[in-house]
Structure 1
Amino acid sequence: MKEIHKINLLYDFYGSLLTERQQKFIELYYSDDLSLGEIAEQFEVTRQAVHDTLKRSEQTLENYEKKLGLVTKFNKEYNSLEEIITVIDNYPREKAPEALNKVKKLVREMLDSR
């Protein structure tokens, strides 16, 4: 997963746990694509301060994921749903009962992981 997508996904799950300043810096840098210098100018701080805040924020998001694993679980469920669609699409009509059993198994696995 690309770093930008990874941080954005982590931010979607855990962003509200960051300070307001950390949230704003992450949003400006990763979503609005502002440079460190542009953010620094807007907040009247140094580029180094912006960089440090971003790195600390990223580490905090990573730590939340290590402890809670919500993004990992989300990705696993997403992949299972993609597999369900593939199973449905690839099974011929005459093998529909097999496909349905496979789908039931995948859905059951998703439900049991909660």
Structure 2
Amino acid sequence: MYLTVSGTPDNMGEVTRIGDLYDFYGAFLTNRQREIMEMYHVEDWSLGEIAQSLQISRQAVHDQLRRAADQLEQYEAVLQLASMAQRQRDAWQKVMLVWAKTEALLADDAKTRMEQALRDFAETLAGLTGGDAGA
């Protein structure tokens, strides 16, 4: 799979996806790939800024980003961690929608117990998805 990394609005969804995949699989990349990915995706540096900082060509930065993105996509294709996390977040949102519609129907003690159960579940879910359950 060939991925562009220009950062233009046309591919911002792709840039976001690669950033998300990096959160899950970044540890599997080489140190150099991680360094370049963090400069680009986390610190929001341009290809030229990265190239200048690392004393390599802009094309080399682009190639490293593309190879790293390809690797991240391959890891996701096999492990499906990001997809699973998204499904869990979607399910959590559905639970919260139902809760918003039904909480007023419960007695105060049942409502308190349910709120605590939801907090506990959100905490567990955040540990599984790598972040806020509702994010």
Following superposition, the deviation at residue 5 of structure 1 comes to 1.8
What residue in structure 2 maps to residue 61 of structure 1? 72
Following superposition, the deviation at residue 2 of structure 1 comes to 1.5
One-letter amino acid matched to 2:68: S
Q: Kindly report structure 1 stretches of 4+ aligned residues shifted beyond 6 Å.
A: none
% identity of equivalent residues: 39
Following superposition, the deviation at residue 78 of structure 1 comes to 0.7
Superposed CA RMSD: 2.1
Q: Distance in 2 between matches of 1:86 and 1:24?
A: 40
Paired residues for 1:1-114 under 5 Å: 2-91=13-102, 93=105
TM-score with structure 1 setting the length:
0.79
- Write out per-residue CA displacement over residues 16-65 of structure 1, whole angstroms, 9 at most, x where no aligned residue: 00000000101001111111111111111100000000000000000000
TM-score with structure 2 setting the length:
0.67
Equivalent pairs counted in the alignment come to: 98
> Gaps (5+ residues) in structure 2?
1-11, 115-120, 126-135
> Gaps (5+ residues) in structure 1?
101-106
Q: Distance in 1 between matches of 2:74 and 2:30?
A: 15
Following superposition, the deviation at residue 7 of structure 1 comes to 1.1
SS at match of 1:28: helix
